[in-house]
Structure 1
Amino acid sequence: MSTAITTRTLNKLKPAGQPYFLRDTTLNGFGVKVNTSGKISFVSEVWHGGRSYRKTLGSYPILQLQQARNDALAFMSSVRSGDSQRSKSAQMVLEKLFKQYTASGRLKPRTVQDYQEAVFFYLSDWLKKPVSSITKQMVEKKFYQIRDKGINGGKPTYSQATKVMRILSALMNYAKADEMIESNPVEVLKLKRIDRSIKKRENYLPAHKVRELLKITAPESHPMTLAVHLMLYSGLRKNEALRLKWSDLEHVEGLQCLVIRDTKNHRPHYVPVTEEIQKVLQRAANQTQYIFPSPLQSDTYIKDERPTLKRLSKLINMEFKCHDLRRTFATRASEVGIDYLTVKRMLNHRSNDITAQYIQWNSRQNLLVLKDALEQVAY
């Protein structure tokens, strides 16, 4: 819709069932966007170098009409001259955006690697595309392609489709914050109520299966098998357990503890050494810096758990993964009567409770309480 935009025109505008644009007939490239909430935003559009550029100038009446016109003229002039940051930002390709986003230092190296593997595989054909050229239609088509057909020779996967779109949404919000784009195209999935919820896994090993596993593997000394034993008695995450060094075995307030400093919630996790944990450490004794060293590479920890878990799964006729061991530990802790808050602390889960954030869990008495709880987790 086009008309001569005046103050009187602006004051008469009413919201509709969906956002709409009103373009000015007196200044080509100037107009307003009326949102469903009634908010009126001034916008400026210009065609340059074979592509369209748009900028939101501000909202009415905070920004008055005449100033908005002046800002629109300035924006159009800067784009056409090629000097505006907006013009440069519009040429930002997805690959460069990803590198900028992950270079901030806010993400852990493992998270950056995980994001890179997903983006560079599933969005490989988009890496050289300008961020501003990625549309809602492209996003929706890509989501269904990953979910229902598979991509680059891979199998259809709901979980990866969900994961890729979650990462892409974060990248697009980052671009939006820097005014490279006006809206996040991934929001189309939310607006269309396309299910992207991550299905929670519930696999765990019943106590009798754990007893069977522990009995069969009692003579073993393979680092991954011993790591499995440790996870069953400590509830540690896979990476927390596998990356342990002998130097992480410390005396804290007179108690021997495994101290995990690089945790998911960024708060050090203290695991008092119980009798069962001590047995695992004794069996794991070696001359490297890692408690569970790689059998294939010197001076590093074991990184591929899959062959061992596949073998152990066959031994007990029940498939399991490392995170299933964490669920197994938590379930067993509940079964033997340990209260919910203590189980939460044993797992080092983040707490939003203000009081809990004041408690220093590495005090001697609190470590003794935790050690007692760990010793109760028996199979």
Structure 2
Amino acid sequence: MSKITSKLVSSARPSSSEYFIRDSELKGFALRVFPSGTIKYLAEVWHEGKSHRKTLGSHPVLTLQDARKQALAFIRDVQSGQREESRKAKVTLGDLFKDYTKGDRLKPGTLKNHTQVVRFYLKDWIDKPVTSITKEMVEKLFFQIRDYGVHEGKPTYSQATKTMRILSALMNYACADELIENNPVTVLKLKRIDRSIIKREHYLKAEEVRRLLQVTRNETHPMTLAVHLMLYTGLRKNEALRLKWEDIETVNDVSCIVIRDTKNCRPHYLPITPVINEILKKASNGSMYVFSSPQHSDRHLVDERPTLKRLSKAIGVVFKCHDLRRTFATRASEAGVDFLMVKRLLNHKSNDITAQYIQWNSKQNLLVMRDALARVEY
């Protein structure tokens, strides 16, 4: 280590690998000599358990005198915390969202939903530094979306709540990354502003399901058959519509529908009963999907609305796909299926430690599940 002078810089020669010449006068100031002969000035400093380094420029474009001044300024900024504050101030909400959603942290459907919300309801904030978002701004935006609407959209309580839930997740991420100290969305909780989502409770009564099954008994439309399957299995809409023939497997000698891409990321095993088997037989086709699109046999159904609208009109009761899941659970309970089994058939996770030890794909448990499914009649 020696003092870096103009003579030393001029005499520095390249080697087979890059090397550093560190200054004895200004700790943290150094030369970086590359095999190509390029010489660059840099500054580096260790502060609060982190290494900070900055390339200042190349010799001879940057003079030694200016490089030393820049190095000194950089070291002072790091040690005083000004550089870290400057870094934080440059991170925008858009940058944060990109970082938060990179990799496979979110499922494709969730990512698409989050992106739509951020691009519409938070689009005015995309280029704002995360550090500039205040509690007052959050509260004002919530009421704006809820009571008046934004960007010529209608006022919507559900979207106001969803936007704040997503924004809160982003701000918690920013806290974890030490960009901010506190999540500004907590102001809504602290002020006891109601953001609860009204739970939907609609389901089809047994007589309504019987009427539905009666008017559709001869139908082979894939969406109608998907409705039948959901009534007898409690599958979520996407689980049913994305079902492939390869998902029909024999597990421990029991024929099952196996859903691997589930909401809770836990494989879901549903033994096939005679009723379910008849539905699958009706759905038989040359596609890889059980319920393929009538227009594109190589794709699964995606739009259930036309069929549900037609069926709702036929039975005089408007219903959605998730209503069928509630219908299945209610009917299973009415048939005497115990609560833990209903929970298992719906593939709901349990926080109970003992329940987590049970291996539901054992042969005997699959047979018990099949008997429980068979009790669901309308």
- For the superposition of Structure 1 and Structure 2, which TM-score range results when normalised by the shorter chain? 0.7 to 0.9
Alpha-carbon offset, residue 176 of structure 1: 1.3
Q: 1:76 to 1:139 in 2, by over 3 A?
A: farther
2:313 is matched with which residue? Answer: 314
Instruction: Kindly name which structure, 1 or 2, has the bigger radius of gyration based on alpha carbons.
Output: 2
Gaps in structure 2 of 5+ consecutive residues: 1-47, 49-72
- Map residues 212-291 of structure 1 onto 2, 5 A cutoff: 212-291=211-290
1:207 aligns with 2:210: no
Identity of aligned residues (%): 65
Q: 1:273 to 1:79 in 2, by over 3 A?
A: same
Q: Which moved more, 1:187-196 or 1:89-98?
A: 89-98
2:336 is matched with which residue? Answer: 337
2:8 is matched with which residue? Answer: none
Alpha-carbon offset, residue 81 of structure 1: 9.8
Q: List, as ranges, runs of 4+ consecutive aligned residues in structure 1 with deviation greater than 4 Å.
A: 73-76, 79-82
1:66 is matched with which residue? Answer: none
Q: Does the residue aligned with 2:337 lie in a helix, a strand or coil?
A: coil
Alpha-carbon offset, residue 85 of structure 1: 4.1
1:98 is matched with which residue? Answer: 97
- Map residues 1-379 of structure 1 onto 2, 5 A cutoff: 77-78=77-78, 84-379=83-378
Alpha-carbon offset, residue 76 of structure 1: 7.6
Q: Does the residue aligned with 1:257 lie in a helix, a strand or coil?
A: strand
Alpha-carbon offset, residue 104 of structure 1: 4.2
Q: 1:276 to 1:76 in 2, by over 3 A?
A: farther
Q: 1:75 to 1:337 in 2, by over 3 A?
A: farther
Supply the distance in 1 between the matched residues of 2:369 and 2:245 (Cα, whole angstroms).
Answer: 21
Alpha-carbon offset, residue 205 of structure 1: 0.3
Supply the distance in 1 between the matched residues of 2:327 and 2:357 (Cα, whole angstroms).
Answer: 29
Q: 1:335 to 1:78 in 2, by over 3 A?
A: same
Q: Does the residue aligned with 2:250 lie in a helix, a strand or coil?
A: strand
Supply the distance in 2 between the matched residues of 1:341 and 1:239 (Cα, whole angstroms).
Answer: 24
1:50 is matched with which residue? Answer: none
Deviations 1:200-230 (A, max 9, x none): 1100000000001111111212211111100
Q: 1:86 to 1:295 in 2, by over 3 A?
A: farther
Instruction: Calculate the TM-score normalised by the size of structure 1.
Output: 0.77
Q: Which moved more, 1:220-229 or 1:293-302?
A: 293-302
Note if contact 1:93-1:131 (Cα within 8 Å) is conserved in structure 2.
yes
Q: 1:155 to 1:261 in 2, by over 3 A?
A: same
Equivalent position amino acid for 2:78 in 1: S
Number of equivalences: 307
Q: Does the residue aligned with 2:365 lie in a helix, a strand or coil?
A: helix
Q: 1:308 to 1:372 in 2, by over 3 A?
A: same
Aligned-pair RMSD on alpha carbons? Answer: 2.0
Supply the distance in 2 between the matched residues of 1:85 and 1:195 (Cα, whole angstroms).
Answer: 36
Instruction: Calculate the TM-score normalised by the size of structure 2.
Output: 0.78
Alpha-carbon offset, residue 294 of structure 1: 1.7
Gaps in structure 1 of 5+ consecutive residues: 1-56, 58-72
Alpha-carbon offset, residue 348 of structure 1: 1.0
Alpha-carbon offset, residue 243 of structure 1: 0.8
Alpha-carbon offset, residue 363 of structure 1: 0.8
Deviations 1:251-287 (A, max 9, x none): 1111110000111222111111111111111111111
Q: Does the residue aligned with 1:377 lie in a helix, a strand or coil?
A: coil
Alpha-carbon offset, residue 79 of structure 1: 9.1
Supply the distance in 2 between the matched residues of 1:81 and 1:195 (Cα, whole angstroms).
Answer: 39
Q: Does the residue aligned with 1:259 lie in a helix, a strand or coil?
A: strand
Alpha-carbon offset, residue 371 of structure 1: 0.4
